[in-house]
Amino acid sequence: MGKTVRYVTSVITLAVCTALNPASAAQDNRGITVKTDRLALVIGNAAYPTAPLKNPVNDAEDIGKSLSAIGFKVALHRNADKRTMEEAIRNFGRQLKGGAVGVFYFAGHGMQVEGQNYLIPVNAKIESESDIRYEAVDASLLLGKMEDAGNSLNIVILDACRNNPFSRNFRNAAAGLARMDAPTGSLIAYSTAPGSVAADGADRNGVFTKHFIRHLATPNLTVEQVLKRVRVDVAQETNQRQIPWESSSLMGEFFFNVAPSAAPAQALRSGGRFDGAWDVVVECPDVTEGTSFAKGYILRFTAEVREGALSGQHRNRGEPGSLTVAGRIQPDGTAELKANGVTDGPGYTLKQVVRGTPYAYRVSARFEDVRGSGNRIEERPCKYSFSKK
């Protein structure tokens, strides 16, 4: 059997928050106290001889400017070779040992070999699978140096996109980047689900990076809130073809950008803004995958929001055709809801499962004061519409 190789043009961001607002830190000591020193290593590789890219240098430059604007000291490398990348990562690890919070960002080609992720320098000569370990930079080098540094918070964001230009030389090739579970005190976020591909940008930046830069500048958002906003925007722009995803073991709340005039703890007390009754419409169109076909359907029901917690029910719980939707709406209006239902018949499912079979999925949603919208994350595409009564 040949080795499984998955390729991705990737953006890897170790995006770490700025210091907590002093008032907020005093009120909540459950998390980690983050020191104010902030360092960033940013690499953008585009000038590959056989497969040049459009966005990576632009993405890296714009990420660097955004991080500088919120207080990070940024080291920027454009079109770096293998030696430059490895030396920069090792030096970055040494600097983090002083307790600094760090940001690592890489934009360029990357690929996966047997579950291990690699970043591709511009001088890499990859003619077969066996070349990757010697010509590319192992992503575990970065994670290892950060672990050695012992700094308080690490967040890794992988922006996977484009197809493998070296696939013709590989025995097996598949799309997507490998999943890496987040060690304690860290968060790993992907621009799309592991094993899937992400959209390259038609303009200056990639789709994920464009939205990440925009929300990074918003004051008083936790890391999770920033990523939820990015997930909603990317899903909507790509018609659910790309759904950002993350794995987290963070122990506290961290903020990229804190406005001096407003403590984050105060912003978190606005959950009642969405309280009340909401009309919910679920629209799932006809869908075909290969020889499989599932009929479309529309569901209408009412959901109640109390202290930011949403709960809605279509038909009686547990009966065929029923659907339960529940989850918490964040103060910024983002929400990840859980939907649990029971099939109404084999014609409504791609796998033709029997009537009465339980199923579950997640919904990525955003709410305004009197309306909201969302998209089903797994399986078939479905759109959610919310209207406050």
- In the Cβ-directed half-sphere of 212, how many Cα atoms lie within 13 Å? 29
Higher pLDDT, 199 or 216: 216
Asked if 336 and 365 touch (Cβ cutoff 8 Å), the reply is yes
Amino acid, res. 4: T
What does the mean pLDDT of the chain come to?
80
Helix extents (H) in 158-289: 207-216, 223-237, 264-267
Q: Is the pLDDT of residue 292 over 50?
A: yes
In the chain, where the domains are located: 5-27+34-262, 271-388
3-state secondary structure 63-82: HHHHHHHCCCEEEEEECCCH
**Backbone φ/ψ region at 136: left (φ over 0), alpha (ψ -120 to 50), beta:** beta
Give the pLDDT confidence score for residue 152 in this predicted structure: 75
Higher pLDDT, 387 or 195: 387
Asked, colleague to colleague, whether 5-27+34-262 and 271-388 share their fold, the answer is: no
CATH architecture of 271-388: Beta Barrel (2.40)
Q: Kindly tell me the burial class for residue 67, based on how many C-beta atoms sit within 10 Å of its own C-beta (0-12, 13-18, 19 or more).
A: buried
CATH architecture of 5-27+34-262: 3-Layer(aba) Sandwich (3.40)
Give the pLDDT confidence score for residue 267 in this predicted structure: 40
- In the Cβ-directed half-sphere of 142, how many Cα atoms lie within 13 Å? 27
Give the pLDDT confidence score for residue 115 in this predicted structure: 79
Task: Return phi, psi of residue 276, to 5°.
Answer: 135, -175
Distance separating alpha carbons of residues 76 and 204, to the nearest angstrom? 18
Place of tokens 């079109």: 79
pLDDT tens, 2-51?
Answer: 444 444 434 444 433 333 333 333 223 334 434 458 888 899 988 999 88
Of 10-14, 231-235, 339-343, the least confident: 10-14
Contacts of 120 (CB under 8 A, 6+ apart): 45, 48, 108, 109, 110, 111, 126, 135, 136, 137
Q: At what angle do helices 223-237 and 207-216 cross, to 10 degrees?
A: 140
pTM above 0.85, yes or no: no
